[in-house]
Amino acid sequence: MNAQALELLYLLVRKDLKVRYKSSILGYAWALANPFVFAFVYWVAFKYIMRVQMENYSLYLITGIFPWLWLSIGVTQATRSYQNNASLVKKVRIPRAILPLSSVVQEMVHFLFALPVIVAFLAFAGGFGLHASWLWQLPLMLAVQLAFVYPVALVFAVGNVYVHDIEHLAGLAFAMLFFLTPMVYPISMVPEGLRRYFELNPLHALMDGWRGVFLSGAIDAGKLAYAIACAAVFAGIAWFAYRRFAPRIAELL
Amino acid sequence: MTPVVECVDLWKSYSGRRVGLKTLLLRPEAARTSRFARRWALEGVSFTVARGQGFGILGANGTGKTTLLSILLGTVLADRGSLAVRGRVASLIEIGAGFHPELSGRDNLFLYGAILGMRRLEVAERYRAIVEFSELGDAVEEPLRTYSAGMVARLGFSLIAHAPADIFLIDEVLAVGDARFQEKCRRHLQEFRKRNGTLVIVSHDMEALAEVCDEGIRLDLGRVADAGPIGDLIRRYHGP
């Protein structure tokens, strides 16, 4: 990506953030409220009603939900990015791969804004401290998740121009995957025979990576390698799909 | 001298209508027939534009003018034929594509500049000249939603007018703002041509075309129906 495209990406992301935070008095607080309310509801439901037996359950929820929302909202927003910016596709010539990327990066920036709050929550609710290893682990996890999410977002966005149903499928898929990844119970609760299928889910590898970093400053190297390998495969598919199908999207919008 | 725009035998059909999953699954034959129902939007269009020329494209609605311009811009691909566009292109196909109502005029200028392929520095260097040209004054600091339609158009045109370009592609946007500003835009386009800039304009405004163009073609249902000096073209199209 050249410098001009980077500047365009920067301005597109800045536009969305500015608009989002400007239009309400509590802009930043609202962005945080959503994941916290989610986490709180699951905490009540699963800790006190379903009686999940797990130490630090609230921390398990919080450290998963924030990166999850980046991923799921990023992809669902990106899926509609060509429809939402039809005039940019039809009336001017911009590098089209940038539109879904700006959706994904925008959600990444939200996640970055939330990081201090996650860390504060870890410290106050669980007595967890900072880790020096975060200096390389957090950027690494950010890079891996971005590299993982963007190709998926790009394929969904281009595909959605051809087959409109993809945006509905994406919404359903993330609702389902939230429970299958798993996000609200530990994978150790999954019955032995099923567990290895659950572990094939690259989203599990990613989320496990985030939790490891936040809670103990350690990443499971095997799972991380698996997430990176999946990201590489998705990137290959996305590259092919984009080259094959993106040139015609202007006339289909 | 090599022409800056060279189209040879361009063909284009809009075959790929978007189909829903329902159609694909339940009525695959319907999906196929709607996708391959051939109708040529352009049929063997050829023309060349020399550097510094003003080139007008005339024709009734739905004859392929905008399709042709989109192909020149590169947002739509031709099915057949060859196309060469030599130089930096700026499009005035839709003024303010990508403007956001909540952002100030200034923020929108930088964003729009990036959308048109300009660097931040290029916009910053020209910022004063752009605002001066638009005559918007302090209003550039206000959010765009407070602007009238004419003010929005002024902002967009002023930026494009200062974009570093060798070729302007213009689709029916000569009617910007009030009469005085329109006059200013036309003068600006003529000066642009004097600096050896090239214009390709689609318009129904014959008076404006006659003023800023010297050559042109008339499209009829996707074919070149007439070509030549703009005055003759308009006379043959509308009668004397």
Higher-scoring residue by pLDDT: A139, B63: A139
CA distance B213 to chain A (A): 22
> Is the four-CA dihedral B178, B180, B181, B183 of positive or negative sign?
positive
Residues in chain A whose Cβ is within 8 Å of chain B: 3-4, 7-8, 11-12, 15, 18-19, 22-23, 85, 87-94, 161-165, 247-248, 250-252
Contact call for residues B174 and B201 (beta carbons, < 8 A)? yes
Q: Quick one: pLDDT at residue B19?
A: 55
CA distance B108 to A5: 17
Nearest to B103 among A8, A15, A94 (CB): A15
Q: Does residue B32 sit within a domain?
A: no
Q: Quick one: pLDDT at residue A47?
A: 82
Nearest to A113 by CA among A35, A210, A6: A35
A142-153 burial, b at 16+ Cβ within 10 Å, e below that, comes to bebbbbbbbbbb
What ipTM was predicted for this assembly?
Answer: 0.85
In chain A, beta strands by DSSP E: none
Nearest to B100 by CA among B144, B156, B45, B65: B144
Q: Quick: pLDDT tens for A180-209.
A: 988 888 888 889 899 989 999 999 999 999
CA distance A159 to chain B (A): 11
Residues B104 and B82 in one domain: no
Give the residue on B whose Cα is nearest the Cα of A93: B75
DSSP string computed for B77-98: --SEEEEEE-S-EEEESSTTTT
CA distance B163 to A189: 61
Give the residue on A whose Cα is nearest the Cα of B118: A4
Q: Quick one: pLDDT at residue B37?
A: 40
Contact call for residues A153 and A78 (beta carbons, < 8 A)? yes
CA distance A67 to A213: 12
End position of a domain, from candidates B163, B182, B205: B163
Strand order of the β-sheet with B80-85 is B40-49, B5-13, B80-85
Residues B190 and B231 in one domain: yes
Query: What is the mean pLDDT of the segment spanning B138-144?
Result: 93
**What are the tokens at A76?**
């669902």
pLDDT band at B43 (very low <50, low <70, confident <90, very high): confident
Query: What is the mean pLDDT of the segment spanning B168-172?
Result: 87
CA distance A244 to B3: 31
**What are the tokens at B23?**
């159609």
Q: Any CB–CB contact under 8 A between B50 and chain A?
A: no
Query: What is the domain range of residue B136?
Result: 100-163
Residues B120 and B150 in one domain: yes
Residues sharing a CB contact under 8 Å with residue A85, sequence separation 6 or more, in sequence order: A99, B98
Query: What is the mean pLDDT of the segment spanning A56-60?
Result: 87
CATH code (residue B191): 3.40.50.300
Strand partners, B8: B82
Query: What is the mean pLDDT of the segment spanning A119-143?
Result: 88
Q: Any CB–CB contact under 8 A between B119 and chain A?
A: yes
Is the bond leading into A182 cis (omega within 30 degrees of zero)? yes
Q: Quick one: pLDDT at residue B125?
A: 94
CA distance B132 to B109: 13
Which residues in chain B have Cβ-Cβ distances shorter than 8 Å to A20? none
Higher-scoring residue by pLDDT: A153, B175: A153
Q: Quick: pLDDT tens for A74-86.
A: 999 999 999 999 9
Give the residue on A whose Cα is nearest the Cα of B120: A7
CA distance A201 to A195: 10
A7 with B93: Cβ contact below 8 A: no
Q: Does residue B94 sit within a domain?
A: no
Which residues in chain A have Cβ-Cβ distances shorter than 8 Å to B69? none
Residues B81 and B10 in one domain: yes
Residues B173 and B78 in one domain: yes
Q: Quick: pLDDT tens for B6-36.
A: 999 999 887 655 556 666 666 666 554 443 3
The span from the first CA to the last CA of chain B, in angstroms, equals 34
Q: Does residue B133 sit within a domain?
A: yes
Q: Considering chain A, what is the average pLDDT of its residues? A: 90
Which residues in chain A have Cβ-Cβ distances shorter than 8 Å to B21? 163-165
pLDDT at position B149 over 50: yes
In chain B, beta strands by DSSP E: 5-13, 40-49, 54-58, 80-85, 89-92, 167-171, 198-202, 215-220, 223-229
A11 with B114: Cβ contact below 8 A: yes
Q: Quick one: pLDDT at residue B64?
A: 87
Contact call for residues A118 and A214 (beta carbons, < 8 A)? yes
Query: What is the mean pLDDT of the segment spanning A105-128?
Result: 88
CA distance B197 to chain A (A): 19
Least confident of A24-28, B143-147, B175-179: A24-28
Give the residue on A whose Cα is nearest the Cα of B31: A163
Residues B172 and B79 in one domain: yes
CA distance A7 to chain B (A): 7
Residues B104 and B207 in one domain: no
Backbone angles phi, psi at B16, to 5 degrees: -85, 75
CA distance A121 to A132: 18
Q: Does residue B195 sit within a domain?
A: yes
Q: Any CB–CB contact under 8 A between B91 and chain A?
A: yes
Q: Quick one: pLDDT at residue B31?
A: 52
Q: Quick one: pLDDT at residue A131?
A: 87
CA distance B233 to B201: 14
| Chains A–B, number of C-beta pairs less than 8 Å apart | 87
Least confident of A207-216, B109-118, B201-210: B201-210
Strand partners, B219: B224
Q: Quick one: pLDDT at residue B26?
A: 66
B102 with A11: Cβ contact below 8 A: no
Query: What is the mean pLDDT of the segment spanning B138-149?
Result: 92
* Percent above pLDDT 90 for chain A: 57
CA distance B239 to chain A (A): 33
**What are the tokens at A49?**
């009603």
Give the residue on B whose Cα is nearest the Cα of A98: B115
Q: What is the pTM of this model?
A: 0.88
Residues B48 and B153 in one domain: no
Residues B1 and B116 in one domain: no
CA distance B159 to B200: 18
CA distance B14 to chain A (A): 7
CA distance B61 to B59: 7
Query: What is the mean pLDDT of the segment spanning B200-219?
Result: 89
pLDDT at position A89 over 70: yes
The span from the first CA to the last CA of chain A, in angstroms, equals 25
- Other beta carbons within 10 angstroms of residue A210's beta carbon come to 24
Contact call for residues A64 and A74 (beta carbons, < 8 A)? no
pLDDT at position B163 over 70: yes
Q: Does residue B9 sit within a domain?
A: yes
Q: Quick one: pLDDT at residue B35?
A: 36
- Other beta carbons within 10 angstroms of residue A23's beta carbon come to 9
Give the distance from CA B157 to its chain's centroid.
12
Q: Quick: pLDDT tens for B80-105.
A: 899 999 999 988 888 778 889 889 99
Residues B172 and B240 in one domain: yes
Which residues in chain A have Cβ-Cβ distances shorter than 8 Å to B24? 163
Which residues in chain A have Cβ-Cβ distances shorter than 8 Å to B173? none
End position of a domain, from candidates B145, B163, B181: B163
Number of domains composing chain B: 2
